[in-house]
A and B are shown apart, each in its own frame.
Chain A
Amino acid sequence: MNETQPALTSQERDELRRQGVLLTSLEELYNWGRSHSVWPLNFGLACCAIEMIAASMAKFDIARFGSEVFRPSPRQADLLIVSGTVTKKMAPHVVRLWNQMPEPKYCIAMGACAISGGPFKQGYNVLKGIDRFIPVDIYIPGCPPRPEALLHGLVQLQEKIRGQALTGPEAPRHLRSDDACDCPVPELGAHDIEPSHAPGVWSSPSLVRPDKG
């Protein structure tokens, strides 16, 4: 937790664990607890939602990872799994659900549509990726991703949570005062949603490749 050299190296700590002595930091304990009780929002958009349901059923059993508690209310959920195509008509609702979730919260973009619009990218009513409006932690490619892929994404998210520092500049949003938690909700305009992306959340990456310089 502090900048100084830790009193114990990780090898020494593992050795102590083998001897039955558990030494840990508050940060590690807190993140360990958080990472194994991620409650997803019971929120399905399209095809991927069926695979999300399949992941929560007997064969794949998401309960092994502590995430079987699908909450119907965003107020009780930690994880937004954007499972499917986000249409422009739906985008304000998704952002509003995200804003209604309490911190700490995480977002998984499940499937090609949630990442970039996927096969429906050329559609006039399809949002070209949910990361234009809300910050995404884990991207799971696939159309739809298999339930195993969702479980893998969940494990990746758990690793990310376990690695979060609770203080300092790398602290997560909910422990910082400078980072606004709310994302701007787009409006349904005459021809398109306005704005077409949230400027503070997403900006068009430069396609100039530095390695070609």
Chain B
Amino acid sequence: MDTVEHVRERLLARFPGAEVTVVPNGSPAGQHSLLISAAHALEIARYLRDEPGLAYDQCSNVTGIDWRDREVIDIVKDSQPGAPGGPPVVVERKVKRIEPGYLEVVYHLYSLARREGPVVLRLRTGNRSTAVSVPSLTPVWRSCEFQEREVFDLFGVVFTGHPDLRRILMWDGYQDHPMRKDYVEPDDYEWEPTPHGDVLTKAKRHYPAPTAPGMTNDE
């Protein structure tokens, strides 16, 4: 069984300049993943596929994850001059900062030849708006072709080097990326036959105001 550390060592031995980081997985599944830098992604992928000792010949699953901006609170310690002659006073203050979000593409690799896997590769974009490019791994694994198109369609990740990067599930003129966490869906809840839960909340925005006392639009 290949461990991620083992794969990482082999990758670093082959590509000394590459950034390969182990991303630990907190769940009992224990499927830890490797975060690789975009610059070396394509050659790392080729190496994983072609190196006989690794032979990850099947890329089973490709998907995206949208990580939003996170608010992080840091505790900063400042030393201020204390009373004259005395020691400086350390004052703690909380500093809020926004850790920028990013889009992540996750690849699950398996080796049919060696019956190994999964090795989970992760690629991250710079942010969620302007730097959304990652290299496409379709030239290495053909199975990425439609799945990367899907990630492009639903998350807005641009795969450079993809042979045919178009929308796949939504129509061509569509402009949103609906799987992003901040996507707002069109409001077409004018009327619902059996509303409950969130649907009721959404539908109520359209309900007419009571026209006479005693009339209600509840239920």
Residues of A within 8 A of B (CB): 89, 115-116, 121-125, 128, 188-192, 196-197, 204-209, 212-213
Contact = CB atoms under 8 A, between A and B. Distances in A.
Interface string B86-119: 0000000000000000000000000000000000
B185 A124 contact: yes
Given A190-B173, A207-B191, A124 B210 contact: no
A115 B216 contact: no
A208 B208 contact: yes
Nearest to B189: A128
B211 A188 contact: no
A208 B214 CA distance: 10
A212 B216 contact: yes
Nearest to B198: A122
Contacts of B216: 208-209, 212
Interface string B173-193: 111101000010110111111
Given A128-B192, A207-B217, A209-B219, 17 more contacts: A115-B193, A121-B199, A124-B178, A124-B186, A125-B169, A188-B171, A191-B174, A191-B186, A192-B186, A196-B188, A207-B191, A208-B208, A208-B211, A208-B215, A208-B217, A212-B214, A213-B215
Contacts of A205: 191
A209 B215 contact: yes
Contacts of B175: 190-191
A116 B192 contact: yes
Contacts of A197: 188, 190
Interface residues of B, number: 31
Listed residue (A115, A122, A188, A208) with the most chain B CB atoms within 10 angstroms of its CB: A208
A115 B178 CA distance: 24
Q: Interface on chain A toward B: helix, strand, loop, or mixed SS?
A: loop
B186 A196 contact: yes
Contacts of B188: 128, 192, 196-197
A196 B190 CA distance: 10
Contacts of B217: 207-209
B170 interface: yes
A206 B208 contact: yes
A190 B174 contact: yes
Nearest to A127: B188
Contacts of B27: none
B206 interface: yes
B173 A204 contact: no
B194 to A, nearest CB: 7
A205 B169 CA distance: 32
Given A115-B193, A213-B214, A207 B174 contact: no
B214 A189 contact: no
Given A124-B178, A208-B210, A89 B171 contact: yes
Listed residue (B174, B214, B219) with the most chain A CB atoms within 10 angstroms of its CB: B174
Contacts of A212: 214-216
A82 to B, nearest CB: 16
B212 interface: yes
B15 interface: no
A191 B176 contact: yes
B183 to A, nearest CB: 7
A120 to B, nearest CB: 11
Given A204-B190, A207-B208, A208-B211, A188 B174 contact: yes
Which 5 A/B pairs are nearest by Cβ-Cβ distance? Answer: A192-B186, A204-B190, A124-B185, A188-B171, A190-B175
A204 B190 CA distance: 6
A188 B173 contact: yes
Contacts of A206: 208
Contact of A89 (B170, B176, B207, B214): B170
